[in-house]
């Protein structure tokens, strides 16, 4: 029988190894950047490594803390600037960021129908399209040429978390500037503050 000290927990080696799916570790309600309990560390590591909470519970607390500190240390030199890249290469395919000022109304409708908190991958898919194309571009039969579903799985597995965080902060600021509702602005401001608190200046 394998001892619990031998459980293999694969963690990202650098910040560039983090993907959108790892955001779940930071968005879990147990994760509070200024006050992390032992239980929260286990849940965080489960979301980062995909090793179950039950398995992680058998590991000595010093090793759990060591692994958690390693993950936090990945952000030591990272500072959020809110300037998402104009072009990205995801799984060998080039993508360009949508120009919100020039895009058609279909983009805004897709955004309004989306819950980006529950599905952050969709935010990336809506804001990055194949290079040289137009958002909502149709073929000769008026079918979407590049639907969100065509890049969703690639983005889910290969879209870097740092690229997403920059996009998310930028998107929240743009949306905040476009709405008039004080209540909605308050909600967006709280989301932005949480993003800045976690990623704004690493762990310093």
- Taking CA atoms, 120 is separated from 111, 156, 180, 182, in Å, by 12, 9, 24, 24
The first and second tokens of residue 1, run together, are 């029988």
Instruction: Identify which of 44, 32, 100 has the alpha carbon closest to the alpha carbon of residue 69.
Output: 44
Mean pLDDT of 170-197: 63
- Taking CA atoms, 123 is separated from 4, 83, 87, in Å, by 39, 15, 16
- Taking CA atoms, 60 is separated from 5, 70, 78, in Å, by 7, 16, 29
Helix (H) or strand (E) holding 93: strand 93-97
| CA dihedral angle for residue 171, residue 173, residue 175, residue 177, rounded to 10 degrees | -150
Least confident of 82-86, 92-96, 168-172, 183-187: 183-187
- Yes or no: say if 97 and 128 are a contact pair by the CB < 8 Å rule: yes
Mean pLDDT of 37-41: 91
The first and second tokens of residue 46, run together, are 């489960």
Report the C-alpha gap between 40 and 29 in whole angstroms: 9
Residue 2: predicted pLDDT? 45
How much is the pTM?
0.80
Residue 100: predicted pLDDT? 84
Tokens 């950047």 found at: 33
Query: Which residue ranges make up each domain of the chain?
Result: 4-73, 87-199
Residue 201 pLDDT greater than 90, yes or no: no
Mean pLDDT of 22-51: 86
Instruction: Identify which of 77, 80, 25 has the alpha carbon closest to the alpha carbon of residue 51.
Output: 25
In this predicted model, what pLDDT tens digit does every residue of 128-169 receive, in sequence order?
999 999 999 998 999 999 999 999 999 999 999 999 999 988
> Torsions phi, psi of 122, nearest 5?
-65, -35
């Amino acid at each position: 029988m394998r001892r619990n000290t031998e459980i293999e927990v694969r963690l990202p080696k650098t910040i560039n190894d983090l993907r959108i799916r790892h955001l779940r570790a930071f968005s879990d309600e147990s994760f509070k950047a200024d006050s992390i309990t032992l239980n929260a560390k286990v849940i965080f590591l489960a979301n980062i490594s995909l090793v179950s909470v039950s398995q992680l519970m058998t590991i000595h607390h010093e090793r759990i803390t060591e692994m958690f500190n390693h993950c936090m240390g990945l952000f030591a030199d990272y500072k959020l600037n809110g300037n998402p890249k104009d072009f990205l290469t995801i799984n060998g395919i080039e993508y360009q960021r949508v120009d919100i000022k020039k895009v058609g109304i279909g983009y805004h409708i897709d955004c309004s129908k989306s819950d980006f908190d529950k599905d952050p991958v969709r935010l990336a898919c809506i804001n990055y399209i194949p290079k040289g194309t137009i958002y909502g571009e149709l073929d000769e039969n008026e079918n979407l040429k590049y639907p969100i579903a065509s890049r969703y799985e690639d983005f889910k597995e290969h879209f870097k978390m740092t690229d997403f965080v920059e996009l998310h902060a930028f998107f929240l600021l743009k949306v905040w500037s476009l709405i008039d509702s004080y209540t909605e602005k308050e909600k967006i401001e709280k989301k932005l503050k949480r993003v800045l608190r976690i990623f704004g200046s690493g762990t310093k």
